[in-house]
Amino acid sequence: MIAIAAAANENLAHISNVLIYSAMAVYTLAFLAHIAEWVFGSRSAVGRTAAAITTEAGAARAAAGASAQGGGTAVLERPKVVTRAATGSRDVPDGPGAAGTSEKGDVYGRIAVSLTVLSFLLHAGSVLTRALSVQRAPWGNMYEFSTTFGMTVVGVYLGLLAFKKNVRWLGLPLTTTILLDLGLAVSVLYTESDQLVPALHSYWLWIHVSTAILCGAAFWVGACSTLLYLFRDGYEARLVEGRTGAGLRRYLDELPQDRRYARFKAKLALRTDNPMSRLPAAATLDKLGYRINATVFPLWTFTIIAGAIWAEAAWGRYWGWDPKEVWSFITWVAYACFLHARATAGWKGRKAAYIALAAFGCYIFNYYGVNIFVTGKHSYAGV
Amino acid sequence: MGTTETPPAADGAADETDAAAAGSRLSTAPEEERGQAVPGSFGGVRKPGAFGYAAWAARETIGWARWFWRQLTSMRVALILLFLLSLATVPGSLVPQTSVDAVKAEGWRKSHETLGPLYDKLGLFHVYSSVWFSAIYILLFTSLVGCIVPRTWQFVGQLRGRPPAAPRNLRRLPAHTTWRTDAEPEQVLAAARTLLKKRRFRTEPGSDSVASEKGYLREAGNLVFHIALIVLLIAFASGQLWKSEGQKLIVEGDGFANTLVQYDDFKSGSLFTADDLKPFSFYLDDFEATYERTGPQRGTPRTYEAHVTYHEGADGPGRKATVKVNEPLETSGSKVYLIGHGYAPVVTVRDGQGDVAFRGGIPSLPIDNNITESTVLKVGDYRTKDGKKDQIGFKGNFVPTLDLKTGTMLSQFPDLDNPRLVLTAYHGWLGTNSGTPQNVYQLDVSKMQQFKDKDGNPFAQALKVGDTMTLPDGGTLKFEGIKPWATFQISQQPGNSTALAGAVAALAGVAGSLFIQRRRVWVRAVRGKDGHTVVELAGLGRSESAKLPEELADLAAALQADAPPVTATDAPDPAESAESADPSAASEGARA
Ligand code: HEM
């Protein structure tokens, strides 16, 4: 029995490796297609709309107000519900997406998504064959964590797309991250497929690790959304002040030469405003980030509880301040901080966003940092 | 665009307060008190005389105390304390902790001459019981209690209260819809009330409207979550105070009874007493280990199984059990974990007179992953060939798999493929009676001489099972066999089930708190100027949510069964064009 397991079905393990390299190749193509999407988008007429957006938004608001006054809306089908943005929010509409208004860009974007689906299938195949080759959950070491984590991130993204959520703008950051993650996995973290040490023989492995990975994948989407919120928020603030496009150029011309930092920021803005204008509105990004983080928080709580139950069975205490436990706790408290910040005056918006990013940083540190730099009971994970 | 129905500007302000009332008490979160950040002098005017002063001082003290308490229980301070808690937790993962690995912590302290004492002062070797860490979480939990109690009362009040009446202008709410119908206003309102009740809204009729509210479980969940955190803390703390945790190495065939003296190593919480140890005993019948034979992870353990016979209580019947790494034995309120294993070479030592001076297994300590072990045997009661009293110490290695081709004496595999016992011997004074406790795994050779062979080289020999080594003074050591040993951790930790219950409650609470929306829906039906009944529906949630408009649309659609809309034949409706330009329409996907 052991001899059979030890043979570890090398064939399957080999297939798994071939699949992961194929997936990486296709992800690279998807990455390039997304770049093309953004590039063609930038040549589209989006630039024009930058200035128009605010006036359009103003017009839209006035119109919405009018409809509210109109009283007798003629609705025979499903009733139309008029929504009002919360007071104080900017009421800027979502951008058109990476492709802008360029049809060519849109075609590239669609190609990118199709390629992502294809590489996701290859990726999933690799994880599955790896699992079959060792006849256990494929989470025995960092290589396996990383490939499964990447797969789950793509899965979450495709799932959101499948549910018709407006997340195609995530494509480029997604493919970039996946390539980094898999690149690191196959080069630095690679471990031959093999059996588990006795401490990992437990059905809690399935429960605890799978939820931990799912949480991380969803937190990643939340963090991306939050990060882009910060950029887009800055862009919208300038939009309202009229410091985009020509206005920004004028502002830059008037800035004295010695105000280096301000000039640098303005120049950066000049370059990034175009992609920014194609992103969803800051309010949309903010909300998406919040929704995801808030949805995942209970799952992360569960992950920690499951880990504690397992630790109790394996090591005789449910909580022992092992570095991995410590950082899960820090991550948990940081996300709790974020949720509190959203409910505290003066902390909503950008400040809460910074906390959310820091919380995600804690998750990532727990994942890479603790495994690599800190030794503890979890360090048999075979870095 | 502005129609005749546009309310005058003065009404706008009234609408605001109206809308604020509609949204009041939608949560139990503490009020934001921005103006209160700086306390004034609470004492007020000080009347002359000692009495005046005392009264002033009392007012001042109470004022400050209340100010402090309000600060402590505000959301902002809770946020800051949470933030501090996460920061304060960090150093414990970077500096070795005495409670986690005492040896490592001690080593670190010794190797960092300047930082060591400084860290010691700061309590960085025991972060989680340090003063500053405790201060943070005690403040946080005080704040939590100070927050929960008023919120609970408030929530009870809300449960008893009724949803607030419909604001005058429903169109100002975040989501609303309206249509005209030929049904009578009373009919519409009655239908609306039935509908809302069926959907489990709590409803309250008004003169021309129905108010309703749903989602109280959100607040309940939030309170349960925060209370569960307190339960968790108490369970954890009591576990720490009353826990006991000891280790015992048992050679195959030997046993253990749960009394303090039997432990090799014992730690306990500060309120634990020896009487708290529940009686039970167990014997290690047999230990089995298997290892990976091939591949890159050759030598990695695959299974560890300790087969034991245990007796519950002082003299319960013997029962068999298997202890594995993830599967402790539970008996008499204690848990017995398997945490390590190794080999004990079994030897017989005869002295120069031929009398047995020692017989038994020598538990040896593994020094690497292939279980190369360091072996020490002290024989205190020993006579030389000439009958003189002497003491003998053996020292060396036990090697489960020796492979001389590799050129090292280190074991090449953890299983017993080619076991050897490599020993050298000393005689003289072991120092065992000197009063200071001695480590059985270390031989102090400062008062001993090593035996020499005929050529004057240090005496040493590698033994196979069955071999005998003869010392220059006539004594012998026979390598009789090998027995495995296992180390067990025996822990008793009260409060585990309370902690689990707290954790589960926290989980359920936080899920309720985050997934349930608390929201209010109002329906108004009045007869319009044209004789039709104007129905208006509006909703308000605690935060903007995509679900609320959807729900409102659902409700409206259901209500239209009883109040069918009439098509407006007069003036073209501006709403059509407005809807397509509605900024929220484009982002609907992401908001869902
Ligand atoms: C012990 C540390 C604490 C943790 C881990 C914690 C965690 C959380 C979490 C995860 C939420 C999110 C639930 C939601 O948004 O509905 C929350 C909400 C809340 N917490 Fe805490 N909390 C702690 C302490 C406190 C304290 C000390 C207070 C009182 C000042 C407090 C007051 C609140 C309030 C009012 C909400 C509801 C906010 C809302 O309605 O959105 N919490 N808490």
What is the Cα–Cα distance from B215 to B163, expressed in whole angstroms?
A: 12
User: b/e string for B526-551 if b means 16 or more Cβ within 10 A?
Assistant: eeeeeebbbbbbbbbbbbbbbebbeb
| Dihedral in degrees, nearest 10, Cα atoms A113, A115, A120, A125 | 160
**B 286-345 → A contacts, CB under 8 A:** 290, 292-297, 300-304, 324-328, 335, 337, 339
What is the Cα–Cα distance from B3 to B271, expressed in whole angstroms?
A: 77
Positive or negative, the Cα torsion across A202, A206, A209, A212? negative
With an 8 Å Cβ cutoff, are B549 and A81 in contact? yes
What angle, rounded to 10 degrees, do the helices at A260-278 and A210-241 form? 110
With an 8 Å Cβ cutoff, are B93 and A327 in contact? yes
Closest-CA residue, ligand 1 atom 4, reads A336
With an 8 Å Cβ cutoff, are B292 and A194 in contact? yes
Q: Has residue A381 got a pLDDT over 60? A: no
pLDDT at B73 (0 to 100): 86
What is the Cα–Cα distance from B171 to B174, expressed in whole angstroms?
A: 8
With an 8 Å Cβ cutoff, are A64 and B83 in contact? no
> CB atoms < 10 A from the CB of B34, how many?
9
Q: In what order do the strands lie in the sheet with B280-291?
A: B255-257, B280-291, B301-312, B318-324
Work out the minimum CA distance from B345 to partner chain A, whole angstroms. 25
User: b/e string for A332-346 if b means 16 or more Cβ within 10 A?
Assistant: bbbbbbbbbbbbbee
A321 contact residues in B (CB cutoff 8 A): 92-93, 97, 99-100, 127-128
H helix or E strand, kind and range, residue B14: helix B9-23
User: Do A343 and B78 form a contact (C-beta atoms < 8 A)?
Assistant: no
Tokens of B124: 């960085």
> Residue A378's pLDDT band (boundaries 50, 70, 90)?
low
Query: Under 8 Å CB-to-CB from B339, ≥6 apart: which residues?
Result: A315, A316, B247, B487, B488, B489
Report the alpha-carbon angle B118-B121-B125, nearest 5.
90
Closest-CA residue, ligand 1 atom 6, reads A336
What is the Cα–Cα distance from B156 to B177, expressed in whole angstroms?
A: 32
Ramachandran sector of residue A8 (left: φ over 0; alpha: ψ -120 to 50; beta: rest): left
B565–chain A Cβ distance below 8 A for any pair: yes
Tokens of A169: 């703008």
C-alpha closest to that of A379 among A32, A132, A124, A141: A141
Alpha-helix runs per DSSP H in B47-127:
49-72, 75-89, 91-94, 102-111, 115-122
pLDDT at B434 (0 to 100): 59
Q: What are phi and psi of B540, to 5 degrees?
A: -140, 125
| CA A337 to centroid of ligand 1, rounded, Å | 8
What is the Cα–Cα distance from B452 to B424, expressed in whole angstroms?
A: 10
Work out the minimum CA distance from A295 to partner chain B, whole angstroms. 7
What residues does B266 pair with on adjacent strands? B246
User: Do A370 and B92 form a contact (C-beta atoms < 8 A)?
Assistant: no
What is the Cα–Cα distance from A359 to A348, expressed in whole angstroms?
A: 16
Task: Report the length, in residues, of chain A.
Answer: 383
What residues does B247 pair with on adjacent strands? B265, B489
To test ligand 1's pocket by mutation, which of A339, A342, A344, A348 has the most ligand atoms within 8 angstroms of CB?
A339
Work out the minimum CA distance from A36 to partner chain B, whole angstroms. 24
| Dihedral in degrees, nearest 10, Cα atoms A223, A227, A232, A235 | 170
> Residue A2's pLDDT band (boundaries 50, 70, 90)?
very low
Q: Does residue B392 have its Cβ closer than 6 Å to ligand 1?
A: no
Alpha-helix runs per DSSP H in chain A:
2-7, 10-43, 46-70, 103-134, 142-162, 171-187, 203-204, 210-241, 245-254, 260-278, 282-315, 323-342, 350-364, 370-373
With an 8 Å Cβ cutoff, are A74 and B510 in contact? no
Chain A residue closest to B506 (CA)?
Answer: A301
pLDDT at A8 (0 to 100): 53
With an 8 Å Cβ cutoff, are B100 and A326 in contact? no
User: Do A332 and A364 form a contact (C-beta atoms < 8 A)?
Assistant: no
With an 8 Å Cβ cutoff, are B583 and A85 in contact? yes
Q: What pLDDT digit, counting tens, does each position of A193-225 carry?
A: 666 666 666 788 889 999 999 999 999 999 999
Task: Report the length, in residues, of chain B.
Answer: 592
B78 contact residues in A (CB cutoff 8 A): 340
C-alpha closest to that of A170 among A102, A228, A114: A228
Q: Has residue A73 got a pLDDT over 50? A: no
Q: Has residue A68 got a pLDDT over 70? A: no
Pairing of strands A82-83, B365-366: unpaired
Chain B residue closest to A301 (CA)?
Answer: B507
Tokens of B123: 């309590």
Q: What pLDDT digit, counting tens, does each position of A187-201 carry?
A: 888 877 666 666 666
Q: What is the DSSP code string of A8-62?
A: TTHHHHHHHHHHHHHHHHHHHHHHHHHHHHHHHHHHSTHHHHHHHHHHHHHHHHH
What integer best gives the mean pLDDT of chain A? 82
Q: Has residue A180 got a pLDDT over 90? A: yes
| CA A295 to centroid of ligand 1, rounded, Å | 15
H helix or E strand, kind and range, residue B428: strand B420-428
A327 contact residues in B (CB cutoff 8 A): 93
H helix or E strand, kind and range, residue B151: helix B131-160
| Dihedral in degrees, nearest 10, Cα atoms A247, A251, A254, A258 | -160
Half-sphere exposure of residue B541, counting CA atoms within 13 Å on the CB side?
22
What is the Cα–Cα distance from B406 to A254, expressed in whole angstroms?
A: 77
What angle, rounded to 10 degrees, do the helices at A282-315 and A210-241 form? 160
User: Do B559 and B192 form a contact (C-beta atoms < 8 A)?
Assistant: yes
User: Do A379 and A372 form a contact (C-beta atoms < 8 A)?
Assistant: no
C-alpha closest to that of A293 among A260, A253, A334: A334
H helix or E strand, kind and range, residue B425: strand B420-428
What is the Cα–Cα distance from A75 to B535, expressed in whole angstroms?
A: 12
Half-sphere exposure of residue B405, counting CA atoms within 13 Å on the CB side?
3
pLDDT at B592 (0 to 100): 29
Ligand 1, atom nearest to B221 Cα: 16
Half-sphere exposure of residue A220, counting CA atoms within 13 Å on the CB side?
27
The rounded radius of gyration (Å) of the Cα atoms in chain A is 24
pLDDT at B34 (0 to 100): 53
C-alpha closest to that of B559 among A181, A121, A206, A78: A78
H helix or E strand, kind and range, residue B256: strand B255-257
With an 8 Å Cβ cutoff, are B493 and A62 in contact? no
Q: Does residue B138 have its Cβ closer than 6 Å to ligand 1?
A: no
Tens of pLDDT along chain B (592 residues) come to 333 344 444 455 666 677 677 777 788 887 765 544 455 567 777 788 888 888 888 888 888 888 888 888 888 899 999 999 999 999 988 888 888 777 888 888 888 888 888 898 898 998 998 999 999 999 999 999 999 999 999 999 999 988 999 988 888 888 889 999 999 999 999 999 999 999 999 999 988 999 999 999 999 999 999 999 999 999 999 988 888 889 999 999 999 999 888 998 888 888 888 888 888 999 999 999 988 887 767 887 888 899 999 998 877 888 999 998 878 898 888 899 998 899 999 999 999 888 999 999 998 988 888 899 999 999 988 988 888 888 999 999 999 999 888 888 899 999 999 999 999 999 988 876 655 556 778 888 888 999 988 888 888 999 999 999 998 888 899 999 999 999 999 988 888 889 999 999 999 999 999 999 899 999 999 998 888 899 999 999 876 667 888 899 999 999 998 888 887 554 444 343 333 333 333 333 333 2
Mutate to test the interface with B, among A73, A89, A191 (most CBs of B within 10 A): A73
Q: What are phi and psi of B375, to 5 degrees?
A: -120, 135
Tokens of B201: 């809204």
Mutate to test the interface with B, among A9, A61, A76, A81 (most CBs of B within 10 A): A81
Tokens of B195: 């509908």
With an 8 Å Cβ cutoff, are A370 and B93 in contact? yes
Q: Does residue B136 have its Cβ closer than 6 Å to ligand 1?
A: no
Tokens of B20: 């604020």
What is the Cα–Cα distance from B200 to A50, expressed in whole angstroms?
A: 46
